[in-house]
């Protein structure tokens, strides 16, 4: 069987011809219709694994939206999903801006191989839309994509809690270039929290670099 993929240019061309389809329910008119967006946007965050918070359980409409964005090339979902995160950031327990009133957002990194397939670091795109929405609401916001995964980190699919933790141990690194000043409170962002291993490893890397991860927020919790 031959599988053909559509390039980013080809997809953009199709978008000019075909009306957008909601990734959550299939209705025409928007990448994410108002009803499906409401499963994430406007939801108060709840406790998930690893000390993180999430907006919805990883099932139903929320799962379809995240999968479409992450694995099926629906980059048009970055804006509504990032905006959903922005609406929750100020309500996550422990979150706060820095002394100058700026919210610092740090996206969880993906493996380089996965990012190439997906057309880039997908959580970074969410973080940028989150920051833009916070700015539109009158907040100062900054995105610091300073975390990276060691190439030795494997795909976590199929790994249990202990295996995920071992897979990431010492393999999330902080790049000092572009990092916020020491002691800056930051909010770690992700798309799905499963066992909490990624949140734990990212938080440890930030602390080791002198940055203070005050909270973690994900779209969904599996």
Average pLDDT value over all residues in the chain: 90
Q: Are 109 and 151 in contact (CB under 8 A)?
A: no
Q: Could you tell me the residue ranges of all domains in the chain?
A: 8-221
**Location of structure tokens 């997809």:** 11
Of residues 149, 157, 139, the one with CA closest to residue 173: 149
For 45-102, write each residue's pLDDT tens digit.
999 999 999 999 999 999 999 999 999 999 999 999 999 999 999 999 999 999 999 9
The C-alpha R_g of the chain, in whole angstroms, comes to: 17
CATH architecture of 8-221: 3-Layer(aba) Sandwich (3.40)
What pLDDT is stored for residue 8 in this prediction?
Answer: 46
Query: Do residues 50 and 199 lie in contact, with contact meaning Cβ atoms separated by under 8 Å?
Result: yes
Partners of residue 153 on adjacent β-strands: none
pLDDT tens readout for residues 86-104: 999 999 999 999 999 999 9
Structure-block tokens of residue 41: 């946007």
Q: Which of 135, 155, 147, 219 lies closest to 186, judged by CA? A: 147
Q: Which residue has the tokens 């191989």?
A: 113
Residues 6+ apart with CB under 8 A from 181: none
With a cut of 90, say whether residue 154 has pLDDT above it: no
Residue with the bigger pLDDT between 161 and 221: it is 221
pTM as predicted:
0.88
């Amino acid at each position: 069987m031959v599988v053909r993929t559509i390039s980013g240019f080809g997809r953009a061309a199709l978008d000019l011809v075909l009306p957008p389809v909601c990734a959550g329910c299939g209705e025409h008119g928007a990448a994410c219709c108002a009803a499906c967006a409401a499963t994430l946007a406007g939801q108060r965050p709840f406790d998930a694994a690893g000390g993180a918070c999430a907006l919805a359980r990883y099932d139903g409409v929320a799962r379809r939206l995240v999968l479409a964005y992450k694995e099926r090339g629906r980059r048009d979902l970055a804006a509504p999903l990032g905006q959903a995160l922005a609406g929750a950031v100020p309500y996550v327990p422990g979150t706060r801006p820095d002394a100058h009133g700026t919210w610092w957002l740090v996206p969880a990194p993906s493996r380089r191989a996965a990012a190439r397939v997906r057309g880039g670091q997908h959580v970074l795109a969410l973080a940028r839309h989150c920051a833009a929405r916070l700015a539109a609401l009158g907040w100062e916001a900054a995105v610091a994509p300073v975390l990276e995964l060691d190439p030795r980190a494997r795909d976590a699919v199929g790994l249990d809690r202990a295996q995920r933790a071992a897979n990431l141990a010492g393999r999330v690194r902080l790049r000092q270039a572009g990092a916020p000043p020491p002691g800056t409170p930051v909010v770690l962002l992700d798309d799905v929290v499963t066992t909490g291993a990624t949140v734990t490893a990212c938080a440890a890397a930030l602390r080791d670099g002198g940055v203070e991860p005050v909270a973690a927020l994900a779209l969904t919790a599996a």
